[in-house]
Amino acid sequence: MSTTGSVKDYFSALYSAITTTVTGLWITGRYVWGVKPVSIEYPEIREVLPERSRMRLFNDVLNCISCTQCAMACPVDCIYIASVKMPEGSEIKKTSNGQAIRLQLTQFVIDTALCCYCGLCTTVCPTECLTHSHDYEFSQYTIDGMKYDYLAPDVIAWRDRIVKS
């Protein structure tokens, strides 16, 4: 712009540069006093996540009917399900919303390292047993540790904490 020109241009440019910069400094300066810090000291203070937050998946295997709809809906194919027919003569259990469990679940593994947390699997679940929990701290030392077997007893034990009612 006014890189070449009269002395008047030079000083007017200098003046406007100083005034506009001071205006900006005044705005930032007001934050020095009276504005509360917004940082959260994370490990000590944890925020409660919103109700719909989509974090690690949890499958309540007691209510699962092995329909494999979640595995079909998954866009990255990270859910592995296997099931066998119930042995003859065994009593047919019901899920919490009254559907009969006709197949016995033998494997329900989710590779969390592949999961993209889109939530498509939870919406197709007919018994609403597959849900997003609010656990977000699950870093692992090996990538195999990201595979969660929901039939393992230690994972089933999460149920009391995650499943309401």
Binding site for other proteins (CB under 8 A): 1, 13, 16-17, 19-21, 23-24, 27-28, 38, 50-54, 68, 71, 73-75, 77, 80-83, 85, 109, 111, 114, 116-120, 123, 132
* Nearest alpha carbon to residue 127 among 100, 90, 93, 161: 100
Closest approach, Cβ 71 to other proteins, in A, equals 7
43 and 82 Cβ atoms separated by less than 8 Å: no
Closest approach, Cβ 156 to other proteins, in A, equals 21
Instruction: State which residue, 27 or 157, has the beta carbon closest to other proteins.
Output: 27
Strands 103-111 and 147-149 turn out to be: antiparallel
Closest approach, Cβ 126 to other proteins, in A, equals 12
Amino acid at 144: D
* Nearest alpha carbon to residue 56 among 150, 136, 130, 156: 136
Instruction: State which residue, 82 or 100, has the beta carbon closest to other proteins.
Output: 82
Half-sphere exposure of 47 (CA within 13 A, CB side): 9
Closest approach, Cβ 59 to other proteins, in A, equals 15
Instruction: State which residue, 85 or 157, has the beta carbon closest to other proteins.
Output: 85
